[in-house]
Structure 1
Amino acid sequence: MHFMFSLFGLMVVLFHFFASICCNHFTLLLFLSNQVVHLCKRKWIEESTYPRFTMIGQSFGSIYLSWEALCKLTPLFYFDTSGYAFTYPLARIFGCQVICYTHYPTISMNMLARVSLQSSMYNNNALIARSRLLSQCKVIYYTVFSWMYGFVGSCANLAMVNSSWTQSHIEKLWKIPECTRRVYPPCDTSGLQVLPLEKPRESPKIISVAQFRPEKAHIIQLEAFSVAIRQLDSRLPRPKLQFVGGCRNKEDEKRLQHLKDKAVELNVEMDVEFYKNVTYKDLVKLLGGALAGIHSMIDEHFGISVVEYMAAGAIPIANNSAGPKMDIVLDEDGQQTGFLAGSVEEYAEAIVTLLKMSETQRLEMAAAARKRSSRFSEQRFYNDFKEAIRPILSQSSYSC
């Protein structure tokens, strides 16, 4: 598609912007290009191009796309924020300094462990999980791929990562801890911080903000909500669960409809509301009225929606893994900031506990959560980004 912007060419433009705010040596900007390169090989990184062996297909496809980009324009700095680590050796061959901001490792040790244990998940087909032979074959595939991923990733001059969880996996796989820096993503929560911490208690709202994708595990939230309602004292106000998210395609639409059907099956359809593709203004309004925010994705690399819950005064009930566990839902000044859960029963218990809390206890927790959310501000991102990238900008020959 000739009219589409290249992800790699766009990185050069973004780098021009970041350099302008990071670098004190303004003459360096003369070496940076602000051109946008149009590429024709975009289809080689599309998931739909590889129905099977998607990871390896997209990875090698990205090399082809990168070759086209680098032949058309070879920058001094090659800045990747899309996770195409297999392009780094090629960029080094072209003489570029390679910088990346990795949101999520293409493969992780957790993925390998789940395949070994034959656990069925969104990224491990049930047919493969049921077969020992197929699982062993997939383990070999993942093992070989993880070695290749480790090799190409080690070609980065600077690897910025968005969370402690991502950092631990990248350091194990790429083995360049001295070149790895944790830079939390910018969360613009200024508009949410001003929302009142007091929430209506007559009809408490629990909000869930996430695209209707399989890894977001909305069914667990619905089942936990159903269990919690059955466990609630009849004298307590009956809560409502609000699903807020976007649909990218027909598959997401089907998942949304399945969620609605499941609410009917669990006999909670009158207590559940669905909001599809809402505007940001409407999202802020919904967050402002929410007593709590629920999140159930396993191994969420960071969890910006959890930070948004906390900033809005909605106490988070998040999955007990990765970003929420390691970086976000931690005590603030000795005060609990939310709940972590891993099963339907644990989520239900957290919901019931929250609804039974006194207003004073809830306000103290909400205030601590809001204070913690400020640790992930845009300003902190700018400061950490500048600190990480300054050595490479000031010394073009920098390498680890």
Structure 2
Amino acid sequence: MLGRMDSSAAGVTTTTMTTTTTTISTTEEYFEFTLLPIIILAKASLLVAFSFAFLALHRTRRTFREARGRKMTNHRSDDDDNNDENETFVVGFFHPRCSSGGGGERVLWKSIQALGEIRGGCDVTTTRRSGSSVVTTDTKKHLERLCVVVYTIDEPSKDYDTRILEDVANRFNIVVPESLPVRFVHLHEHKNLLDEPKRLTMIMESWGTAKLAYRALGIVNPHVYVDTTGCAFTFPIAKYLGGCRILTYVHYPTMSVDMLSLVRERRPSYNNVSNIASNSLMSRLKLAYYAAFAVCYGIVGGLSDLTMANSNWTKGHLERLWKLAGKIRVVFPPVDTASVNDFPIEGRENMIISIGQFRPEKDHALQLRSFAMLLDIHDGAMREVGVTLVLIGSCRGAGDMQRVDELRELARELNVEDRVKFVLNQPYSVVKDYLRRASVGIHTMWNEHFGIGVVEMMAAGLVTIAHNSGGPKSDIILRPWDFDVDYGSTSLFGGGGDMPTGCLATTADEYAATMYEILKRDGSSDETIKGVREAGRKSAERFSDEEFLDSFKETVLSSSLFESEDANPLLRFSLFIVVIAILLRYY
């Protein structure tokens, strides 16, 4: 009886399973039949969209082609007026805030000076590192007709060109050769595209710079597009619409592996606020956002024809992200060491200075906290000798000025406001006066890409303390001072080969302790500190203006930037569309 029941139950189960399978199969066929027209329509729509995009790009590119060679009026050189406007070879520098006073602007103007020297002398051989190499006749022809355009968001005025070049000479001690025509494309009416977004900062900033580049190249489309601000998402505009060759000088990667690690490890920082770092879900979402952005950043970065990195630290991060960019060359940024390397080593004041723009990543708050600790340790010994802290830098706008106000408030809270001074937006002559008088230099940015301020202070003879990370650690202060080591008599006579060149620190405690040791020795008969100053000054010569000019010229002249143009770049975009079509066909 039970056997018959089991058999009957099994039959029912089998029938049910068969019916279910049939139902599922029928349902799948129904949905496949129903959705098939929708799928076909979707694929067709995408192909049509890509086709319209191609046509739009083709039309836009034609507009950009018309903008190429557009006459640059009011050249500083009369010789250029005799040239046919279509023969002008234009190099465009995308640097919207070209009138600021930071290290990035120094690189901009020194690069323009290098091009001016190449054009003026037409010395087209490179012999510095890679042996003698004569560039092609095509390149020489283009260099002889070189013209520079700078894209800026500054407001235009009748005397803008003259005024900014005079300001560059006064602030940076850089004189652009008269033989090089330099013109400015003003994008003041579009400056809101660079407003700092409150959410999705990297995406919105990248989108804003891309739109600004689109506006810029629609006015004057150069043959060579140079990005000196780290705006990699402008590259597709320059490459596919403008048909430009691309040179980029990277000061700091928009995305780095360290940034991904910060979010993954949920460590708070200036770009990973604590309320996100403390939330597991938000951290995972932000990590996904960063990872997706890193992929896109790597793709657009690969469009660069020639990439220069300002340090080995920057180069290492770019090589991990810009897989398609080819070889990345390290060209250390220029530092005006010549104007400060004759300052006397002895007779310095008990003054600590820092040099850097008032941006959040510079972490000036750490400097104030370290200074407050310095005044309190060892029974306030440093208060009695009148130690002061001077923060020197430029402000880009209202946001930076607000940051300075917050720092002043922090100084009051720490009870050090009477010993802290802020020096804002001053000419280089004022900065040099502080470099001549100060004893110690301090720099606190974590993972600083290079650290021009660090080199300036070392060249001036200051014992400099930098953050134990980034470019200062990998390229500048290669021999940090260990206070427990006796360096002997090599401390004199120009700094022996084994002498330390500066100091590295991480926390406020470490900075305070290091400043104390330096100032204590500076007030005694310890000869080692003289050797450290001399060794630091000698080491800083690796980053002089002359070194940058030579390295920049060699890197540019040994590249294909000034060769004849590539074939229509839209051909590559067409191939991209074909690949998409194939994927849609077999999806």
Give TM class, smaller chain. Answer: 0.7 to 0.9
Moved more, 308-317 or 60-69: 60-69
TM-score of the two chains, using structure 2 as the length reference: 0.61
Instruction: Specify the alignment match of 1:59 in structure 2.
Output: 206
1:198 Cα deviation after fit:
0.7
Residue 320 (structure 1) aligned with residue 468 (structure 2): yes
Provide the C-alpha distance between the structure 2 equivalents of 1:61 and 1:271, rounded to a whole number of angstroms: 41
What SS class does the counterpart of residue 192 from structure 1 fall into? Answer: coil
- What percent of counterpart residues are identical? 39
Residues 364, 33 of structure 1: alpha-carbon distance in 2 compared, 3 angstrom cutoff: closer
Moved more, 32-41 or 240-249: 32-41
Moved more, 144-153 or 171-180: 171-180
Instruction: Specify the alignment match of 2:252 in structure 1.
Output: 104
1:146 Cα deviation after fit:
0.4
1:38 Cα deviation after fit:
4.7
User: Mind listing any 5+ residue stretches in structure 2 that lack a counterpart?
Assistant: 1-91, 97-107, 125-136, 150-182, 480-495, 567-587
Instruction: Specify the alignment match of 1:87 in structure 2.
Output: 234
Instruction: Specify the alignment match of 2:347 in structure 1.
Output: 199
Residue 381 (structure 1) aligned with residue 545 (structure 2): no
Provide the C-alpha distance between the structure 2 equivalents of 1:39 and 1:219, rounded to a whole number of angstroms: 34
* One-letter amino acid of the counterpart of residue 174, structure 1: W
Provide the C-alpha distance between the structure 2 equivalents of 1:338 and 1:141, rounded to a whole number of angstroms: 38
Cα offsets for 1:279-333 (capped at 9, x unmatched): 3222211111111101101111111111111111111011111111111112372
User: Mind listing any 5+ residue stretches in structure 1 that lack a counterpart?
Assistant: 1-5
Residues 30, 381 of structure 1: alpha-carbon distance in 2 compared, 3 angstrom cutoff: closer
Cα offsets for 1:169-208 (capped at 9, x unmatched): 11110025742100001111211111111133xx511112
Contact 1:302/1:324 (<8 A) preserved: yes
Runs of 4+ in 1 over 4 A off after TM superposition: 13-16, 30-41, 233-236
What SS class does the counterpart of residue 135 from structure 1 fall into? Answer: helix
Residues 30, 206 of structure 1: alpha-carbon distance in 2 compared, 3 angstrom cutoff: closer
Provide the C-alpha distance between the structure 1 equivalents of 2:550 and 2:437, rounded to a whole number of angstroms: 32
Task: Please give the residue correspondences for 1:1-400 in structure 2 after superposition, counting only pairs within 5 Å.
Answer: 8=94, 14=112, 17=116, 20=119, 24=124, 25=137, 26-29=140-143, 32-34=146-148, 36=183, 37-39=185-187, 42-43=190-191, 45-48=193-196, 50-93=197-240, 94-176=242-324, 178-200=326-348, 204-232=350-378, 237-331=385-479, 333-357=497-521, 358-393=525-560, 396=563
1:246 Cα deviation after fit:
3.0
What SS class does the counterpart of residue 79 from structure 1 fall into? Answer: strand
Larger radius of gyration: 2
TM-score of the two chains, using structure 1 as the length reference: 0.88
Provide the C-alpha distance between the structure 2 equivalents of 1:30 and 1:282, rounded to a whole number of angstroms: 38
Cα RMSD, aligned residues only:
2.8
1:398 Cα deviation after fit:
9.7
Residues 161, 394 of structure 1: alpha-carbon distance in 2 compared, 3 angstrom cutoff: closer
Residues 132, 394 of structure 1: alpha-carbon distance in 2 compared, 3 angstrom cutoff: closer
Provide the C-alpha distance between the structure 2 equivalents of 1:341 and 1:270, rounded to a whole number of angstroms: 25
Contact 2:217/2:238 (<8 A) preserved: yes
Cα offsets for 1:72-103 (capped at 9, x unmatched): 44433222212221222333324322211111
Contact 1:97/1:396 (<8 A) preserved: no
What SS class does the counterpart of residue 244 from structure 1 fall into? Answer: strand
Contact 1:391/1:398 (<8 A) preserved: no
Cα offsets for 1:231-273 (capped at 9, x unmatched): 2366773422222233333443333333333333333334333
What SS class does the counterpart of residue 391 from structure 2 fall into? Answer: strand
Moved more, 21-30 or 118-127: 21-30
* One-letter amino acid of the counterpart of residue 308, structure 1: E
